[in-house]
Amino acid sequence: MTAEPFPHIVIDGLFDDADLDAVLREFPSPGETKWMKFDNPQEKKLGFYYATSTISEVVRRFLDAMNSFELLLFLEALTGIDGLIPDPYFGGGGLHQIEPGGYLKIHADFNVHPKLKLDRRLNMLIYMNKDWREEYGGHLELWEPDGKTCRERILPVFNRMDGPESAIPNQLIWKNVPPALSCGLVH
């Protein structure tokens, strides 16, 4: 991973479309599970919380696969980071939704896991947005370390994976998800 402004990679079609279609069909709507609600000047979105969010068996199997030995080996080979450890608590991970009018302003993810107290090295995003068009907005934006200049915009289309490195020594990773126009965003 050598992309600018910090190490990351975008891969389309990493997963079987039929498998992701099954997950999408059972992806909980805002009223179907107990989401963590974030509604403040920095963010307006819904997030998964392992202790209270109820999910289907199909979604659970997919999340378990994201923590599997096989995926860890793939990510280690892809990134060159040896000894990756999965996050069974999905601290900052799992399912997320940005509803119409929601946003995630320029921010740097946390680098130390809130429960495990380990360095958070990778943050893999898998987009589940079918037929997403450029004009809908909601791009993941990658910003210069000073947080002043956007260097890359990534459209959140179905079966696109973005794997930014989360913990680079002595450097914050600045990201942004500006408001989508009228559609919700699922990742």
* Residue 3 is assigned to a structural domain of this protein: no
- What pLDDT does residue 61 have? 95
Helix (H, G, I), strand (E, B) or coil at 112: strand
Residue 179 inside a domain? The answer is yes
Kind and range of the H or E run holding 142? strand 140-143
The answer to whether 94 and 126 have CB atoms below 8 angstroms apart is no
pLDDT for res 142: 83
Is there a domain that residue 45 lies in? yes
pTM of the predicted model, to two decimals?
0.86
DSSP-derived letter for residue 34 is: -
- Structural domain includes residue 105: yes
Count of domains for the chain: 1
- Provide the CATH number for the domain around residue 60: 2.60.120.620
Evaluate whether residue 181 is within a structural domain: yes
Question: Which residue range(s) make up the domain with 14?
Answer: 10-186
Residue 187: predicted pLDDT = 52
Going by their DSSP bridges, the two strands 150-154 and 140-143 should be labelled as antiparallel
Within a domain: residue 5? no
pLDDT score at 175: 67
Residues of the chain with pLDDT under 70: 1-6, 164-176, 178-187
In a domain, 2, yes or no: no
Per-residue pLDDT, 5:
63
Distance CA 34, CA 99 (A): 15
Cis, bond preceding 5 (omega within 30 deg of 0): yes
Q: Does 150 map to a domain?
A: yes
3-state secondary structure of 181: coil
pLDDT of 184: 53
- Residues 67/87, Cβ–Cβ less than 8 Å: yes
How confident is the model over 24-63, as pLDDT tens digits?
999 999 888 889 999 999 889 999 887 777 899 999 999 9
